[in-house]
Copies of this chain bind each other. A is one copy, B any other.
Amino acid sequence: MTMTKPFVMGIDIGGTNTVFGIVDARGHVVASDSIKTRKHTNFEDYIKELHEGAERLIKLNDAEGKIQGIGIGAPNANYFTGEILNPPNLPWGKVIPLAETVSKAFGGIPVAITNDANAAALGEMTYGAARGLKDFIMITLGTGVGSGIVVNGQLVYGHDGFAGELGHVIMKRNNGRVCGCGRTGCLEAYCSATGVARTAREFLEIRTEPSLLRNIALEDITSKDVYDAAMAGDMIAKEVFEYTGKILGEAIADMICFSSPQAIVLFGGLAKSGDLLLRPLQESLEANIFPAFKGKTQVILSELKESDAAVLGASALGWEAKYRYEAPTVPVVTENA
């Protein structure tokens, strides 16, 4: 009799740390650990250290032979090919055969990979605020703006595995800010943590009112500084959030025209700004939404603990992982046939 194995492993590969954990079917992170992502310039060495750390965790938690699959979230990871393509912050080349190498290192355990925002959406659907929802959009408001789109209960991968780049829809067609992608006016240039800091700098330069933020060197201002100042009642800082929420509300109104989701789930540092961001966002959404969709889509916050979310999201992919490394069969050469 084959029993379904009770655990998956979730691995989140970030630019700085790689966090990995054992997760059970209820979305409890049984145990987790991390290694430095950029310590090894050789990819095989990195996977070796990752595998050793994971095996240690597996042994300590009596999970040997009980890992059903491994799910990995990583920047530019492609669900279809199992590869990371042109990652901006990883030192292992332009095409990294992630699924194959990990499955091989772990003795053939099935592996599935996707990008971090897609993993976050799966985590939210499997264990978090989007449980039971078949149509929702996850927006991650971090250093950048990422997105994972779920339609009819399935993650939208697109024909090439790279769908869901909603951080790069154009919000300002004239005189827009330069974005990291090389274009101008992208949502990400305004509604990411970086975008909030940029807006603050712009406001401080253009305007003359006093502000707590003037105590910080312009180039050192972070979104956290803007948040702290706004919470202390600073007018300019509050208006930075008004501006950010307005643009995000406009963007969400357009997204709803696409897939008419039940919910927009916000995740990441900025999502924790509370009403500073959510009130202007809601007002802008209501002012901009297509009439037939009015009042139908809820904007909600992620319910996953931030420290667990990345591993949980990645792990959610592990339950359905199908790619399994198989050693190539070596042809038997008999000299005297």
Contacts and interface: CB of A to CB of B under 8 A. Distances in A.
Given A151-B151, A169-B254, A260 B291 contact: no
B149 A250 contact: no
A331 interface: no
A166 B260 contact: no
Interface in A70-88: none
Interface in A273-327: 288, 290-293, 296
Taken together, the copies of this chain in the complex come to 2
A238 B290 CA distance: 31
Contacts of A151: 151-152, 154, 156, 158
A182 B168 CA distance: 27
Interface string A145-162: 000010110101111111
Contacts of A170: 250, 253-254, 288
A258 B152 contact: no
B157 A257 contact: no
A136 to B, nearest CB: 8
A111 B82 CA distance: 41
A202 interface: no
A262 interface: yes
A262 to B, nearest CB: 4
